[in-house]
Amino acid sequence: MSETPVVRVELKHADAAELVRQDPSLAGCELAGALEERRDEVLARAVVRRYPDGTVVFQQNESGCSLFLVLEGEVRMSGRKQADGVDLGLATKGQVLGEGEALTGAATRRSSAVAQGVADLAEIPREALLEGGRLPRPLQRWLEEVRQQRARTLDEMTDFLDRW
């Protein structure tokens, strides 16, 4: 009598702090630097999810103020200004999404994000980023730079489309 083989699968909860510590490119990313000594504490509160190709991470005008760190893969960012929709580029490993909402606490997303291929993201609640009810200065400055760059891209692209 032959026995049917048994396959055991162990599911492990992904720990964003551990994933960042173990990957030199993530450990050296700008978010890790801006978090300074609070990096592990903040990332321990993140939820890691895998997004299959084409999955919407979030859409413009939906609610949410968490920050996303790309752990693996790519996410296409897009935005609308008036009637014009434009591509804001790709966020790749070590880059963030949702910087404007995390920065200001605004509860409405300013852009849309869609996984391009399989993408692993760590979603960090805004509350985890706060220290004494405020964003630490290095993190605030860096998020503002990211937000301004994406806003410039949106403005430049919509201005270009308006000229057509």
Which domains are delineated in the chain? 16-156 (2.60.120.10)
Mean pLDDT of 8-35: 86
Say if CB 64 and CB 109 are below 8 A apart: yes
pLDDT of residue 22: 95
Interval 42-96: pLDDT, tens: 999 999 999 999 999 999 999 999 999 999 999 999 887 666 677 788 999 999 9
pLDDT of residue 14: 81
pLDDT of residue 9: 47
Q: Higher model confidence: residue 32 or residue 5?
A: 32
**Selection from 102, 97, 127 nearest residue 113 by Cα:** 97
Q: Which pTM does this prediction carry?
A: 0.85
Beta pairing, strands 112-124 & 47-51: antiparallel
Distance CA 122, CA 36 (A): 18
Give kind and range of the element (H or E) at residue 19: helix 16-22
Mean pLDDT of 107-120: 94
Distance CA 84, CA 80 (A): 5
pLDDT at 163 over 90: no
Rg (CA), the chain: 18
pLDDT of residue 117: 97
Cross-strand partners of 32: none
pLDDT at 162 over 70: no
